[in-house]
Every structure is written in structure tokens, then in C-alpha cells.
Structure 1
Amino acid sequence: MRNVMKTAAGLALAIVLGVPAMAQDTLTIGIMVPTTGSEATYGQDMANAVNLAIGEINAAGGVLGKQLTSTIGDDGCDAQLAVNAASKLAASGVVGVVGGYCSGATVPTLKIYGDAKIPLIIPAANSTKLIPENPGNAFMINSTGNDQVAKAIEYFTAKGIKKIAIINQGDAYSQDLADLTKKNWEAAGNTVTNFEVTNKGEQDYSAVVTSITAASPDAVFWTAYYADGGLLIRQLRERGYQGLIAVGDGSNSPELFKIAGPAAEGVIAFSNPTAEFLPEAKAFAEAYQKQFGAAPGPYSTLSYDAMKLLAWALTTAGTTDSAKVIETLQGANFTDTISGPISFTPEKTLARSNFVVLEGKGGAWTLAQ
């Protein structure tokens, strides 16, 4: 009788707290993204896309006969915050994690998820520094910095550019992209006039701008994030720099235009595929707009596909056993996506390049000609 009373009390408490009464009928997915800090716009958009996918999966019957729920770990695009978020997610009983935007915040979480043997699908972070740190459970579905550099050099070369200035912020993502660009650009017989490192959150770029304008490069390549990149672009144009300005995929947000203003006209971005340029993403974009009251952001498609991929892996493996799910992911040839087919190299990176070239026109991104 005591056990019956305890069960009834537990059910009542679950109902009061809004917790599913039959927890065994759900599987929890961890979402690790920045929901605070300068990159919170990206992070919230990624979380929205994952939850949109979860809603669709549940409506279709769920996974392994169970409904999916999610829990968010805020990494703040900060290494220590990310370690705390990953530790909490790993201890919470999640069957998999979708997340990783800032590479510098993602790198220190790899061991935590690896030790816990939790499958991790990374939709955005793409520094090559992630590869040697991967314990074997993490899968990157955004192309790596190597692919981005190849696209950048291809574009610069086609435009007859010979001299570039490269600016980064010293973090895992932007420094990796900057180093790879410098190495490959110079190996092709070209010149790097400036290789500058700035501080995150810097407001006055006058010293860097002076150095760049004095060197007169054909192009400036900002390899860090949009929040600071927008300010740099504006100050470069205000000081009279007339050459090409290019940014990496950390600055492909529409928010760049709000910060840089008219100075962003003509800026080139080397970008992952975004919803507005993917015909397959039309229904997704409409559903996202309806549910969240805004257009999906730059990493929404990859985050949505990451959740669909994880659900497929769990279903195909027929179990939540992490070793079997990871083995299934390694052999994936997943085509039920909106961003393109997903399969992996032995290093668990995307087996193709997904980068496109965008150009700022009229305060928005368009496909570059």
C-alpha cells in the first residue's frame, strides 16, 4: 500500500511540476549552444531548429516508440561555460547531443562527451583543431576550415587578387581559419600584407585599420565573428579602404548588416548553406517562421538536419546504446536533409564541401555571381 501511495504522490508531483509522468516513455536530447553572450542570436536559432525537428519527429511517432524531449546547455561561446554546460548535459542522461557553434568553446567539451560515450553531432563549429581532439563520438556536419580556405582562395584567385590582409581574434575558430589561409595563400605564391590579431569585444580598430590602409592589400579577410566584424568593416570603409572585404562563416549572419550599415555593401562571405538559398528548405523556413515568428538564421538548416540525423541513427541502430549509435553514424549515407547529403570521412568530418559564396547587396546576403 505504501508503494501505491508513493507512486500516486509521484504522479501528482509530476503533474504539478509539468514533468512527464512516464519519464520512461521519453528520450532526452541535449542541445549545446550559446544562448547568452555575443553569439546568442546564432545559438537560439540553432536551438529553435533542433526543437522544430523534434516536434516533427514526435508527430511522426517519435524514436524507438518514445517521444523526444530536449534540454539546453548554454555554452556562452566560452570555454569554461561550455565545460560546465557539457558536464551537466552528460550527467543528465541525454541519449545524444546536438550542438557546437564556437569551435573554441566546443573543443574542451569533446573529452567530456567522449568519456560519457555520448554521440555528439556538431552542426556549426568547424575548426580543424576539433579533429585531433575527437575521442571518436563527435561528428561534424559543417565542412571544415580546410574547405573554407579552398573556397576563399578559389574566389580570390578568380578576382585577380594577389595581396590580402588577414585579421583574427586568436580563438580556435578564427585563428585556425587565419593560419590555414595564410599558409595556403603564400604556398600559392601570393602575399599576406598583414596578419593581425584583435581582442573580442574591441570597439576601436584604428590601429589595425591604419596598418591595413598603409599596406594597401587587394582584399581584407576577417576570419572571426559578426558582432566585432561589423564594426571593423564600418571603420575600414570610414577610413577610406576601397578594396574587397571578405568574412568567414562566423560572420554570415544578417546581423552583420545592422552593425556595419552601408559599409557591408559588397562584402563577400564564405558560408555554409543557408535556408534562403536552398530550394529544399522552403517548407522548413515556412514552419520555422510560423513557430518562432522570424526567419531561420544561418545555422538553422544544419541544426535541423543534425537532429534528423541523430534520430535516424537511433532508429537505425534500434537502440540507445551509444557504441551502436556511433557505429551507425560513421557509416551514414543520410539523404533526408535540406542542406545536402551527409556522410563522413574516417576523421568524422563531412565528406564533401558545403561552402558557397555570398555577397552583401541592399542590406542582405545574396548568392555571389
Structure 2
Amino acid sequence: MSKKSLLLMAVLVMLALAAFGCGQGEQQGGTSDGEILVGIMVPTTGSEATYGKDMENSFNLAVDHVNAAGGINGKNIKTVTADDACDPQQSATAANKLISQGVVAVVGGYCSGATVPTLALYNDAKIPFVITAANSSALAEENPGNAFQTNGTAVHQIEKAIEMWNRDGIKKVAIVHQGDAYSGDLAKIAEAQWTAAGNEIVATEVMNKGEQDTSALVTRIKAKNPDLVFWTAYFADGGLLIKQLRQSGYQGKIMAGDGSCSPQLIKIGGTATEGVQVLSSPIAEYLPAAAEFSAKYKEKYNTEPGPYAALAYDGIGILADAMKRAGAIDFDSVVKALSETKDYEGVAGTTTFGEDHTLARSNFMVVEVKDGKYTLVQ
């Protein structure tokens, strides 16, 4: 073999070793220049991008707070964001992007349907995942052990819904969902729990995403004369359905799941949303512990924090707390510390994880549209 060939082989070997060493460093440490790299997976495009940006803002505000207080065992957190677009295929691409960048943990997850496919990807890559919005029961069922949900589960949400229905004397309920992991799951649990209590589901309908004319669906619902229509999907289509229900003359009660808890629901539905009740995760506006957070959020981003802002802020805090208690940032140590999280006091409330890595106690509240804005009911 010529000297030139030997030299070329040596260079190729050195490059391969360098690449291998770099990859190993990212998997085991995820640090660069003394920083701990944490991935943010949220929708930054598509109909749910408003929520995603709100969550991203909150994550980064929390990172500022953690870093100002000394970081994690002397190292600052650095974030990198990947757009899942609330789409299962794009979420897999987003997850692989974060994995390839060497993150040691991921926070986020808004749409359940886009979050479920990433659980195994992160687990196989030995990356803990703190989920701060998505709450389908499928997440707990599919969780390989690396994921932790800081939002109340779908079961918690339906428990709160039924509490309100019983209070208001509701007997007959019509459910409308969109067949995705989040809305379909809520619909299934609501139907099972409501009928088990001796009440009646008079209709279960599926509305296609982006459907503009719901007149046939509305006609079928009205024919069943429900006391309440329960919309379990997102605000973009929910506002339109509510408007068309009221325009058709439906005068019963309407409730929406937490995916519709956005000012956009009121903007799209207009005056038809008056009196509509919406289930919600902890909203900063109604949380005394979140007053300072809300002020800092508004100061930095010139807008009010959204419905998942407080949970997102706490997601970083919970992760940082676990890393500090673990005294390390490797997968096994962080997952163990996260699973042992008990009575963590955040701006959204107190967090304790159960054996299935979901909240031990519900954190849902109910708001109602009055005079064109949300007000706290319970």
C-alpha cells in the first residue's frame, strides 16, 4: 500500500473516531461549553401554533430563571426547539431532530396524537420527556417509562366535566369529536363515565377537521334534544361549530374540552360563545402563585400568558429540580428523580407523580365566556 493510501486511511479513521466520540458525548452528556441542552417539542406552525409559541415562551422564561439561580449543578440550560405541527408524522421528524442534536431531555408535547409517536423514540434514545399539555389516556398506556405528564389526564378532565353536569342538572349529552387521539379519547371516556352513572349519551358525532358546513351534523344533534353539547376537540373548528349550533336555534348548554381554551374560540365563535363553559388546565390569571410569573411573561413578551403557560414554566422547574436532586443528567438518574417528584410547588400548583407518571391529583378548572372573555367558574 502506498504512503498516500496509508495517509488517506489514517485520516478516514481519525474522522470516524471523531464523529463517534462526538455522538457519544451528546448521548451521555448533552453538554456544550458547560451548557445542558434541553429540547422543546411544540407546534410552531399550523392551527395550534399559538399554543406552541406560548409554551416555548414559558419554557425559555423558566430557563432564564433557573440559569440566573446558578443553573443545574453549575451548568446553564440551553434550549433548542423542534416543530411537531400537531402532526404524527412531523412529530417523529421533530423528535429525531432533537435526538440528533444531543438533547439530554425534552419538554413540550401539545397535541396527544403528535406526542404519542415520540414516546418510544425518546425512550430508545435514553431521553426523559416532560409532557406539559397533552393528556390523552393513550400517553400513559403507551408510556415506556421515560415520560411524565404535568397536565391532568383525560380521566381527570372528564371527572371535572361530570361534576359540572351534575351540578347543572344535565341528563342528556351529545358529544362531538374529531377522531384524533385527544378528542376521541375524551369522547370515549365521557361516554363511558356518563352512562355508567345512569345518564344518557344521545349522540356521538365526528366532525372532520376544517369542515366549514356543519349543518347536517347540527341537524342530527338538535333532533336528539340534548341538555348539553360537549365539544372535545380544538378551538379552530370548535368556534365554528358553536356558532352554527346557536344559529340553528339550539339553546341548550355547551361545554368544550381544554383544547378549546383559547381566546381564539371566542374570536371565531363570536357572541355565540356567550355562556359556553370550557375545561382548562391551571390558568395563570387565576393562580395567586403565578402572579410574579405572569408579570415577567408580559414584560418579556408583551402579551398575557396562555392556558398552558404556567404548566410549561413548571415543566422546566420540575426537570431542573429532578436533575439537581439526582446530582447528574444521565437518563437513569433523571428518570428516577422525576418519578420521585412529590409536592413540587410550582406556579401552576403542586405536582406529585403517581406510579404511571401522571399527576396524582387533578388540576383542572372550568371557565365560562361572559361578556366576550373567560371568567373562572370553578
Matched, 1:36 2:38: no
1:302 to 311, 331, 334: 311
Aligned residue number for residue 285 of structure 2: 276
Partner residue, 1:266: 275
- For 1:146-198, what per-residue CA distance to the aligned partner results, in whole angstroms no more than 9, with x for missing partners? 11111111111111111010000000000000000011111111111110011
> Aligned partner of 1:69: which letter?
K
RMSD, aligned α-carbons: 1.0
Kept in 1, the 8 Å contact 2:235–2:260? The answer is yes
Contact 2:318 2:344 in 1 (8 A): no
Q: Which amino acid aligns with 2:176?
A: I
What does residue 351 of structure 1 align with? Answer: 360
Tell me if 1:257 matches 2:266: yes
% identity of equivalent residues: 55
- Tell me which amino acid in the other structure corresponds to 2:189: L
Deviates more, 1:80-89 or 1:200-209: 200-209
Name which of structure 1's ranges 36-45 and 189-198 shifts more when overlaid on structure 2: 189-198
Offset of residue 334 of structure 1? 4.2
> Deviation at 1:131?
1.0
The residue that corresponds to 1:79 in the other structure is 88
Match of 2:328 in 1: 319
Which range is displaced more, 297-306 or 267-276?
Answer: 267-276
Check conservation: 2:286, 2:376, Cα contact below 8 A: yes
The answer as to whether partners of 1:28 and 1:70 remain within 8 angstroms in 2 is yes
Q: Relative to structure 2, which stretch is displaced further, 88-97 or 174-183? A: 88-97
Do structure 1's residue 221 and structure 2's residue 230 form an aligned pair? yes
| Aligned counterpart for 2:58 among listed residues 49, 65, 89 | 49
Could you tell me how far apart the structure 1 residues matched to 2:107 and 2:201 are?
37
User: How many Å separate the matches in 1 of 2:261 and 2:155?
Assistant: 18
Q: What is aligned with 1:243?
A: 252
Instruction: Write the letter of the residue equivalent to 2:301.
Output: F
TM-score by length of 1: 0.93
Alignment partner of 1:154 out of 157, 163, 167: 163
- Give ranges in structure 2 of 5+ residues lacking alignment: 1-30
Quick one: distance in 2 between partners of 1:205 and 1:184?
A: 27
C-alpha separation in 2, matches of 1:24 and 1:322 = 20
- In the alignment, the residues of structure 2 paired with residue 232 and residue 200 of structure 1 have an alpha-carbon distance, to the nearest angstrom, of 11
Q: In 1, distance between residues paired with 2:161 and 2:76?
A: 43
Alignment match, 1:65: 74
Alpha-carbon distance, 1:24 to partner: 2.7
Give the deviation of 1:204 after TM superposition: 1.2
2:190 is aligned to 181
Name segments (4+ residues, structure 1) moved above 6 Å. none
Alpha-carbon distance between aligned partners in 2 of 1:311 and 1:51, rounded to the nearest angstrom: 13
2:192 aligned with 1:209: no
Corresponding letter in the other structure for 1:239? S
Q: Hey, what's the Cα distance between the residues in 2 that align with 1:336 and 1:353?
A: 15
Give the counterpart letter for 2:206 in structure 1.
V
Distance 1:113 1:176 in 2: 23
User: Which amino acid counterpart does residue 323 of structure 2 have in structure 1?
Assistant: L
Equivalent residue for 2:111, pick from 78, 102, 105: 102
Q: Kindly provide the CA deviation profile for residues 252-294 of structure 1, in whole angstroms up to 9, marking residues without a partner as x.
A: 1111111111111100011111011101111111100011111
Q: Distance in 1 between matches of 2:101 and 2:371?
A: 46
How much does 1:111 deviate? Answer: 0.5
Displacement of 1:296 in angstroms is 0.3
In structure 2, the partner of 1:113 is 122
Matches within 5 A, 1:2-21: none
Q: Deviations over 1:275-333 (max 9, x none)?
A: 11101111111100011111000000000000111111111111111101100000111
Taking the aligned partners of 2:172 and 2:104, their CA distance within structure 1 comes to 49
Contact 1:309 1:334 in 2 (8 A): no
2:314 aligned with 1:331: no
What letter matches 1:221 in structure 2? F
Gaps of 5+ in 1: 1-21
1:123 correspondence with 2:117? no
Structure 2 counterpart of 1:163, one-letter code: K
Q: In structure 2, the residue corresponding to 1:235 is in which secondary structure? A: helix
**Structure 1 SS opposite 2:349:** coil
TM-score by structure 2 length?
0.91
For residue 45 of structure 1, report the CA deviation from its aligned partner. 0.2
Name the SS of the counterpart of 2:348 in structure 1.
coil
Q: Whole-Å Cα distance in 2 between the matches of residues 96 and 70 of structure 1?
A: 10
TM-superposition CA deviations, 1:230-272 (whole Å, max 9, x none): 1100110111110000000101111111111111110001111
